[in-house]
Chain A
Amino acid sequence: MIIELGHFALILALCLTLAQAFFGLIGAATRRPHWFAVTQRAVAGQFVMTACAFASLAYAFYVNDFSVLYVAQNSNSQLPTFYRFAAVWGAHEGSLLLWLLVLSIWTVAVTAFSRNQPDIMISRVLGVLGVVSVGFALFILLTSSPFERLWPAAADGRDLNPVLQDPALAIHPPILYTGYVGFSVAFAFAVAAMLEGKLDSVWARWVRPWATMAWLFLTVGIALGSWWAYYELGWGGWWFWDSVENASFMPWLIGTALIHSLAVTEKRGLFKSWTLLLAITAFSLSLLGTFLVRSGIIESVHAFASDPSRGLFILVFMGTCVGVALGLYAWRAPLFRSNVGFAVISRESFLLMNNVLLVAATFLILFGTLYPVFLDAMKLNKLSVGAPWFTVAFLIPMLPMVFMMVPGMHADWKRATFSRTKTTLLAVTAVAVLAALLLSFVAYGWHSILAFVGFVAAFAVALSALVDPVNRLRKGHSLSASVVGMSIAHFGLAIFVLGVTTVESYHIESDLSLRPGQTAQLAGYDFKMVSVRDVVGPNYDAVESEVVISRNGKQVTVLHPQKRTYRVQTSPLTEAGIDAGWGRDLFVAMGEPLGDGAWSLRLQYKPLIRCIWLGALVIALGGLVSVTDRRYRQRVTADTGAVSPAAAETL
């Protein structure tokens, strides 16, 4: 009964989003202010209805209602309660409902935080968001309903995929979707501006916090996925250039370009149509990602059960939304040309290079992901494009970009002279090279030119990011949130680069067999297997071994890697034993029993790998800090054009 109510709630939500779309867009076009109020009511209503639909599904999972097909496919009575809730978004149908819920939350946020903005603009934004919501609601109701019944009801469910029974992975989709879906807001603002035929610096000021919030959630979501893959998949990798990973990374790259481009538009009114294009592209890539992983066009370990008919629906939907937006762009973009320029060396030109390189990287990843599909469609030989190609293809645009950040952060608008910062920057470079040499020769031992270059980049960016805040503090100036945020985010990137360079150059791994009582050596550590025993978990049985790690005779830690067999899906899963440390991770994974009490083990030494995720989190933190800047909460409207005097000093 509850499920049917949930189904009905979703249908009501569809009706309300139709109303939202209609009243929002037509009301703005025909200048009917009272239709704006209707739009807002529709938004509130569809949020409540979507939440109810979601809640009904969650409830079905909570009470183990196996007469619901989706619950029977993804849950089990032995599944711990927390994972029963996470199983709601464990497969295609439920994850789409989550998508819709997240979209409705963003829509409500837009109504809540837009008091300072003109109703016409917000009405259009809500209307566009309504159109997107309609698409997804229809998609769920017509092709992917989680509310189907199973008669006769299953005695018990097929269980949630064991790989997904993990806290990090349980919250990875909601956070990731918050990011993906959040770009729809920037998209909606872009479409609204194009419909209105007006785009100015004030528009950029409104859009920036929305874009940044979506972007920072996406950053955390991707980092979570990477971290999970590392400790769960048993062999120490943290990024595989798998199609679905790429599908989430491409919007992130464009999102980064977008927030930088918005800075130029806000500050100088330049790059207007380019910013529009980026806002459209970021969300298009989110939609594209949805298409890629659910249509069956790309094979991937992440891909949901694929179905060409679903793929067709998303393709048509995406084609319509993005096609209309790009058509608007072709029509309106000429309006936004500006006749103001900047010097060859200036902050604007640095940001332009930043954007160009980010877009190039995105195109390359898209190209590599789709190339096998392209060749296959042309009936040429099937081949595959894997991590080796992607790594090279990604570094080629990104390495120069990282280096350009060092002076770029300090370039002045309009014309950069570097008069005040030249000596500091030279000092920064020198210190970076020195630190890189120290790390390369003294700490870790020389590996390669690339590793050295990576170290230089990391230190140079880190120091460069600190120059500005430190200078200001010393002179007694105040620090605005956006300056602090920017520095934090750039510093986070430096940490990330340091982590990647170190772990990829200096990691050590070894496959060997050990018997209880035997010891192996790796990277200066002794790994002693003490015992192997059977353990029983809530919904799995496991063989667990106890491994004591010591260094120079002193015990460092005791690890308990397991080889689990989940009872329902009867599949084996390795839970690695990891000793996490800021300086290094030690990693032990069990392989197969070799007979006679011996087991094959994989031992790994991963220096500075935690810096990868720490860096990502710091980047996201920087974004969060910059969003709190006072200027986003001021009353500035396009009509008056007046800026309160306080704003003139901040920024």
Chain B
Amino acid sequence: MWRYLIPIGLFAALVTFFYVGIDRDKQTLPSPLIGKPAPQFQLPSVDDPTKLVSNSDFAGKPYLLNVWATWCVECRHEHKTLLEIARRGEVPIVGLDWRDDRAQAQQWLQQLGNPYTATAFDDEGRVAIDWGVYGAPETFLIGADGKVLFKHISAMTPEVWERDFLPLLGRTGARTE
């Protein structure tokens, strides 16, 4: 009569599966770029359209790429943290202004402060697609060898910086003072 136990057995498996699954974070998509060379880009700078910003400017040393926009509410929340990271000078931050209005972006940086060593203006969103961006803000950590080490989605906080980014920076062995 063991076959009458099949339904409850299956059900128990299902419930266990759900129990495990409730807490998982289903918003974050893992990035397929991790461990691969960072996508190359060359875009006009947000301050001066004649100047160009490109990966090659930062090759050989680790850097952060922060995707932001003036229409993004969470970007405003993380701005303070970015300013703090920039102030400490541990790693340069490159901004990628995603599908934004140039004048508003410049005003934003003036009013709130500019944590970025350079900011690229991606008004058509092509570079963002290359980086697999699907929602601002996102922050990438690129190692000295040019490979993408980590991607963080949503606002940057000091906790995330210390927990996720610093250990990876230590491993690459490059910390500018």
Genuine A/B complex:
yes
Q: Which residues of A contact B (CB under 8 A)?
A: 273, 277, 280-281, 284, 291, 295-297, 299, 308, 311-312, 315, 318-319, 322-323, 326-327, 329-330, 333-334, 370, 373-374, 376-377, 381-382
By a CB distance below 8 angstroms, the chain A residues around B11 are 284, 322-323, 326
Describe B's contact surface by its main secondary structure.
helix
Contact in complex: A377, B4 (CB < 8 Å):
no
Contact in complex: B4, A297 (CB < 8 Å):
no
Contact in complex: B22, A330 (CB < 8 Å):
no
Contact in complex: B8, A327 (CB < 8 Å):
yes
Contact in complex: A315, B17 (CB < 8 Å):
no
A273 to B7 alpha-carbon distance, docked (Å): 12
Whether, in the assembled complex, B129 has its beta carbon less than 8 Å from a beta carbon of chain A, the answer is: no
Nearest chain B CB to A242 CB, angstrom units: 15
**A-contact bits for B1-28, CB 8 A (1 contact / 0 none):** 1001101100110010111111110100
A-B interface, 4 closest residue pairs, ranked by CB to CB distance from nearest: A326-B8, A333-B4, A330-B4, A319-B15
Contact in complex: B24, A311 (CB < 8 Å):
no
Contact in complex: A323, B20 (CB < 8 Å):
no
Contact in complex: A334, B26 (CB < 8 Å):
no
Cβ 8 A contact of A373, one of B5, B12, B21? B21
Taking A329-B4, A377-B24 as given, write out 4 further A-B residue pairs in contact, using a Cβ cutoff of 8 Å, ordered by the A residue number: A297-B22, A326-B11, A333-B4, A377-B20
Nearest chain B CB to A333 CB, angstrom units: 5
By a CB distance below 8 angstroms, the chain A residues around B19 are 312, 315
A315 in contact with B7 given A323-B12, A381-B30 (CB within 8 Å): no
A560 to B11 alpha-carbon distance, docked (Å): 51
By a CB distance below 8 angstroms, the chain A residues around B1 are 333-334
A381 to B5 alpha-carbon distance, docked (Å): 33
Contact in complex: B8, A312 (CB < 8 Å):
no
By a CB distance below 8 angstroms, the chain B residues around A376 are 21, 24, 26
Contact in complex: A273, B26 (CB < 8 Å):
no
Whether, in the assembled complex, B29 has its beta carbon less than 8 Å from a beta carbon of chain A, the answer is: yes
A412 to B15 alpha-carbon distance, docked (Å): 41
Q: Count contacts between A and B, CB distance < 8 Å.
A: 62
Cβ 8 A contact of B18, one of A284, A291, A334? A291
| 15 residue pairs bridging A and B, Cβ less than 8 Å apart | A273-B4, A291-B18, A296-B22, A296-B26, A297-B18, A312-B19, A315-B22, A323-B12, A326-B11, A327-B8, A329-B8, A330-B5, A370-B17, A376-B26, A381-B30
By a CB distance below 8 angstroms, the chain A residues around B23 are 308
A27 to B24 alpha-carbon distance, docked (Å): 44
By a CB distance below 8 angstroms, the chain B residues around A323 are 8, 11-12, 15
Contact in complex: A326, B15 (CB < 8 Å):
no
Enumerate B26-55 residues with CB–CB distance to A below 8 Å: 26, 29-30
Nearest chain A CB to B8 CB, angstrom units: 4
A296 to B1 alpha-carbon distance, docked (Å): 38
A135 to B34 alpha-carbon distance, docked (Å): 46
Nearest chain B CB to A622 CB, angstrom units: 30
Nearest chain A CB to B49 CB, angstrom units: 24
**A-contact bits for B124-149, CB 8 A (1 contact / 0 none):** 00000000000000000000000000
Closest B residue to A374 by beta carbon equals B17
Contact in complex: A329, B7 (CB < 8 Å):
yes
